[in-house]
Amino acid sequence: MKQGAGLTVGIVVALIAGGGGYWLGGKGSSMQGAGGTAATAGAVVPAGDAAKKERKLLYYRNPMGLPDTSPTPKKDPMGMDYIAVFEGEEDSGDSSTPANPNQVKISTEKVQKLGVRSEAAQLRTLDKIVRAAGRIEPDEGRVYAISPKFEGYVERLHVNVTGQPVAKGQALFEVYSPELVSAQREYAIAAQGVDSLKDAGDIAQSGMKQLAESSLLRLKNWDIPESQIKALAKSGQTKRTLTFLSPVSGVITEKKALQGMRFMPGEELYQVADLSSVWVVADVFEQDIGQVQLGAVAKVRINAYPDKLFEGKVSYVYPTLNEMTRTVPVRVELPNPGLLLKPAMYAQMELPVAAKGAVVTVPVSAVIDSGTRQIVLLQKGEGRFEPREVKVGARSDANIEIIDGVKEGEQVVVAANFLIDAESNLKAAIGGFGHSAHGATPKEGAEAERVVPAATGVSHRASGRIDDYDPKNGTASIEHGPIESLKWPGMTMEFKIANEALVKGLKPGARIDFEFVERGPGEWVITSVKPIVMGQEAGTPASATNAHTGH
């Protein structure tokens, strides 16, 4: 009996101890939950918690990973709170958030699909070849015109075909001129008078000599051959016709003389060109003309002789610019053995340009040129890219010099950079250079496919039905409902499509929710498209429900 009583007392004591411990534990937990810390003797506050209270708030970032930050708390268009970023948390390692608000994020799967490839900026020597199209022209210093200096008639033609080759001194044509006959007779009489007055006085001899010299000078000024003048002085007999000879070996490029025709002083009857050396006049683009040096050896290829390579020297850079083609003519003197090169033939000139030494370069494909500035995309991590404005210099066929903006060794995107532009809010990130990109147009979901035409553009939302789509012009006719932000009633109008992928798989008759901006006066561009699922409330993006999952 005593043993049973003792056992009963022991059980009661144990139950009281257990209940008391349970009560104390619950009490402690409730106190800690209410006050945030345990108010027990000897409790130590972790150093990390104290440090956490002293962290510095940097900014608030977009909850959907867009390159949009704010110095004050705000909500995105879907009502989600922006997330606070403290000092030391700029690179959180979150795959959905870029480490830098000016970076863009593309999923690993999309990176693989787009075929993104990067390459390190390298020091290279840019060996460039300036290429220009040109034409063969006669050497202007080797072109001769045959123009009699007196009036007369063409008596006989010895060369009567344009393009006929002639040798130097070959007879071209004969002319008859009453003035020429009279001048010859005058000189013959004066020459005979000088001989007959050898024994006369000095005054008479002097007068006759002056008359003979003036007659001789007149014949020389008319380009009468020296041999004919000597024969005239010796025999005293004048010739009825005068034969004109070719002054050079070449080709007759122009022939205006006709047998029996009358000509006036200075009228061009023949033109002879020496084609043993010709010119290549090439049109060099304005941006390359500064690299063309006189005396540089140029290589010339002719379409008619693809297996032959001609070489000549740059002899002249013309001082004028063709404002229509933005080119400057450059002259190259080219030997023409065998007369293979014909005037007016097309030619392709290649001029190697000496490099100025090793410079930082990237492939030409890495530079996105907007017309006002040049951008490259730097790879900053797995699926993270940062747009960087650069200043470019000289370029070769494959690479371009980076004067400022990229250092040697930095990884730049060299393939699919334009596709990254289409797959991300790149223009909003570019708009954030040097400042936080406040007001950047948001994306509906991390994988939304869109192109934002302007970082500062105001986005409008609407619902409607696709009536027609023109892929050639990139336009779509959409019947939409009222748009409150623009005070528009329901109507059917034409929109530009920023990216063909936005309407891929959609056919006329499909109902959609879409966003658009005004890129220019009266130019409305659709930047986001979401098909309306059956049973879904119109005006609610298909991804809106999923976007708030977990919030």
Q: Write out pLDDT tens, residues 264-296.
A: 999 999 999 999 999 999 999 998 898 898 999
- Tens digits of residue pLDDT in 420-448: 655 554 554 454 444 333 333 333 333 33
**DSSP SS3 for 114:** helix
The tokens describing 318, both together, are 């013309």
Name the pairing type of β-strands 128-138 and 277-285.
antiparallel
**Beta carbons of 83 and 60 less than 8 angstroms apart:** yes
- Supply the pLDDT for residue 419: 64
**Beta carbons of 344 and 136 less than 8 angstroms apart:** yes
Rounded to 10°, the helix 226-235/178-196 angle is: 50
- Supply the pLDDT for residue 440: 37
E strand intervals along 114-176: 117-120, 122-125, 128-138, 143-146, 152-157, 165-166, 171-176
Burial of 356 (0-12, 13-18, 19+ CB in 10 A): exposed
- Tens digits of residue pLDDT in 106-122: 777 777 777 788 889 88
Q: How far apart are CA 335 and CA 550, in angstroms?
A: 81
**What size, in residues, is the chain?**
551
Contacts of 170 (CB under 8 A, 6+ apart): 158, 159, 245, 246
**Within the chain, which residues score under 70 in pLDDT?**
1-54, 63-67, 78, 88-102, 199-201, 355, 417-457, 520-521, 534-551
Which residues partner with 239 through β-bridges?
none
| Residue carrying the six token digits 């009228």 | 267
- Supply the pLDDT for residue 344: 92
Which one, of 97, 99, 102, lies nearest residue 88 by Cα?
99
All domains of the chain in start order, with CATH: 50-86 (no CATH), 107-127+357-423 (2.40.420.20), 148-267 (no CATH), 274-353 (2.40.30.170), 460-547 (2.40.50.320)
- Supply the pLDDT for residue 535: 57
Please name the helix (run of DSSP H) or strand (run of DSSP E) that holds residue 483, with its range, or none: none
- Put simply, whether the predicted model's pTM sits higher than 0.75 gets the answer no
Q: How far apart are CA 16 and CA 1, in angstroms?
A: 23
DSSP letter for 292, please: -
CA dihedral (359, 365, 370, 375) in degrees, to 10, reads -50
**Beta carbons of 390 and 417 less than 8 angstroms apart:** no
Which one, of 285, 283, 340, lies nearest residue 308 by Cα?
340
- Supply the pLDDT for residue 102: 65
